[in-house]
Amino acid sequence: QVQLVESGGGLAQTGGSLRLSCTASERPSTNFAVGWFRQAPGKEREFVSTIRFNGHSTYYADSVKGRFTISRVSNRLTVHLQMNSLKPEDTAVYYCAAGTTLITSTLRNGNAYAYWGQGTQVTVSS
C-alpha cells in the first residue's frame, strides 16, 4: 500500500506563492504517476496537475497552466507543486494522489488514482 505524505500549503496573499510537496513511500511500478487535485468548499474535486515518473511528462488544468509547476526530485519519490501568481479561487484543500494505471485520457479523473494523501489547506486572501 503506497502512502503519500504531503507538506506545504498555508496562507498566501493574491499574487503570492506557495509550494506543496508530496512524498510516496514506494514506487510500485515503472508506470507511476503522482498528481494533485483540489476541492473547495461546496465544489467538486478537480484535477490540478500530474507528473509521470516514467518519462516525466506533465499535465495541467487550464486554470493553473502558466502559474503552477509540477516537478519531481531526482532519485526520490517526492513531487513538488510550485504555485505562483495565486488567486483567491485557488483556495481549497489540495490532495496528493498517485496511480499506476493512468493513461492520458483518464489522468484528469480522480477515480483513476489508487492512492491519496490526507490533504493540505491552501488559502489565498484577496
pLDDT of 102: 82
Question: Does residue 87 carry a pLDDT above 90?
Answer: yes
Mean pLDDT confidence for 16-45: 94
Mean pLDDT confidence for 71-92: 95
Question: Does residue 118 carry a pLDDT above 90?
Answer: yes
pLDDT of 51: 96
pLDDT-derived band of residue 101, with 50, 70 and 90 as boundaries? confident
Spatial CB neighbours of 7, under 8 Å, sequence gap ≥ 6: 20, 21, 22, 23, 120
Check if the beta carbon of residue 123 is closer than 8 Å to that of residue 94: no
Question: How many Cα neighbours within 13 Å face the side chain of 121?
Answer: 6
Mean pLDDT confidence for 48-61: 93
Residue 9, Cα to own-chain centre: how many angstroms? 12
